[in-house]
């Protein structure tokens, strides 16, 4: 009998074990991060009932990731070995706005990078910020509701946004970034990108390291003021799309320096901050940036709908040498992104050219709407089989991750310092940047009920007294420093 091919996920990554689900102990519950199980079950549920929905506005381009550094001691990932060059696809987006929204609006920018590696697609789905508004995925739908339209007025609601944020102090770090000058970039070329979540590296000795991904723009950070942004929108609602497309067409290829922060697995419990908390950063003094290579964008898509609107990136798409972490938001996104694509584009979105791995795919997912794959070996349409079908390969199994604790709903705000890092960020700003930040917050709070403003101002005060007092003064509300400090 000829050698059997290695079974893969739909993203082309090899499967290490197709017989056993991922669980917390031999008799424990299953884990949400078992994306292989979720992919199989979700695909089966949709083999006969395809669904589709719309998606946020974005821009994208193809390029290359070149590795110039050596981090082989941390990871076996083929695409990260010295000298490698890997084809990439990078989709930018505004997060809250609809497809018709203007590009030059104050918002977080999505930074979703796909690498078409020799071992399947590897996706890093992040933002232009290293943190996010919430740390528990149970609150993600609630947060997103505040960013969308009010069900009665059909308009965006500043009251909803600040009401949610003022009762969710973990949002302070991201809110401070969003309301700073970096909340309104001049173009996609002038933003940094972050994996934001904590991922894992696995090396040749089967050792695990925690890792964060950073992409620093070589074009420099450039931002608009609110007034400048309004003028841009008045003249051009597609300013980011136009800038990116025209720069690449003219041969002015944008570039980013790719770096990582690496933490030994055993260090996870050694700091005041939780390294798996999406509202926190790892201080560079603890884990300095290690430069790995360069990301360049050098080719525009030929068809926007086919290649950008139908792009379906997911943090579930990892490759050997790259893994996930106990980051709760990441674990939920491992499921929710793929599920959104199955709803929006269809169960076979991975067969579209922009999503198709550059390596062979051997999976037992079957049929569904718009299937173009078929069965290369029609007798082997289930697993295990006796007809030469693809099988799992134990060499791709990740090392076990030790877990402990009772199954419960833990209050993630108890004992969590949500004020230190946004306060540190405020103190790092120049006087002019602090002024812009506080002016922007005051403008964004216009019309919000006073009791919500006061509640939010107290949070700012706990970050830094000058921060809280500056907002209170602008909003003409009283602030009791004693109460605010409690």
Q: How far apart (Å, rounded) are the C-alpha atoms in residues 285 and 272? A: 14
Instruction: Name the catalytic one among 20, 43, 45, 127.
Output: 127
CA distances from 369 to 50, 86, 131, 279, 342 (A): 6, 31, 37, 39, 10
Instruction: Name the catalytic one among 55, 197, 350, 362.
Output: 55
**Phi and psi dihedrals of 405, rounded to 5?**
110, 155
- Tokens representing 72 are 């082989």
127 labelled catalytic: yes
Among 85, 83, 84, 103, smallest CA distance to 93 is for 103
Q: How far apart (Å, rounded) are the C-alpha atoms in residues 480 and 386? A: 75
Name 217's bridge partners. Answer: 256
Residue matched to tokens 């009998």: 1
Residue matched to tokens 């705000």: 413
Q: How far apart (Å, rounded) are the C-alpha atoms in residues 289 and 287? A: 7
Give the total residue count for the chain: 486
55 labelled catalytic: yes
Residues carrying an active site annotation: 55, 127
């Amino acid at each position: 009998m000829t050698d059997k091919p290695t079974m893969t996920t739909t993203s082309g990554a090899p499967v290490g074990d197709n017989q056993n689900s991922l669980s917390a102990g031999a008799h424990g519950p299953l884990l949400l991060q078992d994306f292989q199980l979720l992919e199989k079950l979700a695909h089966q549920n949709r083999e006969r009932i395809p669904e589709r929905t719309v998606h946020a506005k974005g821009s994208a381009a193809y390029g290359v990731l070149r590795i110039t550094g050596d981090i082989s001691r941390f990871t076996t990932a083929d695409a990260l070995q010295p000298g490698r060059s890997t084809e990439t696809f990078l989709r930018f987006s505004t997060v809250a706005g609809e497809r018709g929204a203007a590009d030059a609006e104050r918002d977080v920018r999505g930074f979703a990078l796909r690498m078409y590696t020799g071992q399947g697609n590897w996706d890093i789905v992040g933002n232009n910020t290293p943190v996010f508004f919430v740390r528990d995925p149970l609150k993600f739908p609630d947060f997103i509701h505040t960013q969308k339209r009010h069900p009665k007025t059909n308009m965006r609601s500043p009251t909803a946004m600040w009401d949610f944020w003022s009762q969710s102090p973990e949002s302070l770090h991201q809110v401070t970034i969003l309301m700073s000058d970096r909340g309104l970039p001049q173009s996609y070329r002038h933003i940094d990108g972050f994996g934001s979540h904590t991922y894992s590296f696995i090396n040749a000795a089967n050792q695990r390291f925690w890792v964060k991904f950073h992409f620093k723009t070589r074009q420099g950070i450039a931002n608009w003021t609110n007034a400048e942004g309004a003028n841009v929108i008045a003249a051009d609602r597609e300013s980011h799309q136009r800038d990116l497309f025209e720069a690449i067409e003219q041969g002015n290829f944008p570039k980013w320096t790719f770096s990582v922060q690496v933490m030994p697995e055993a260090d996870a419990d050694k700091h005041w901050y939780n390294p798996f908390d999406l509202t926190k950063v790892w201080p560079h003094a603890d884990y300095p940036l290690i430069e790995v290579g360069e990301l360049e964008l050098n080719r525009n898509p030929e068809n926007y709908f086919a290649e950008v609107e139908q792009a379906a990136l997911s943090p579930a798409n990892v490759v050997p040498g790259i893994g996930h972490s106990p980051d709760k938001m990441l674990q939920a996104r491992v499921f929710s992104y793929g599920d959104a694509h199955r709803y929006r584009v269809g169960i076979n979105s991975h067969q579209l050219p922009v999503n198709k791995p550059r390596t062979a795919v051997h999976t037992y997912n079957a049929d569904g709407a718009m299937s173009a794959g078929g069965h290369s070996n029609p007798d082997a349409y289930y697993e295990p089989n006796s007809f030469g079908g693809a099988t799992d390969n134990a060499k791709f199994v990740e090392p076990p991750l030790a877990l402990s604790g009772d199954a419960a709903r833990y209050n993630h705000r108890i004992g969590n310092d949500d004020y230190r890092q946004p306060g540190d960020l405020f103190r790092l700003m120049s006087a002019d940047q602090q002024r812009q930040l506080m002016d922007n917050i005051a403008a964004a709070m216009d019309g919000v009920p006073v009791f919500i403003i006061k509640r939010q101002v107290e949070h700012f005060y706990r970050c830094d007294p000058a921060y809280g007092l500056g907002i209170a003064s602008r909003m003409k509300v009283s602030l009791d420093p004693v109460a605010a400090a409690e």
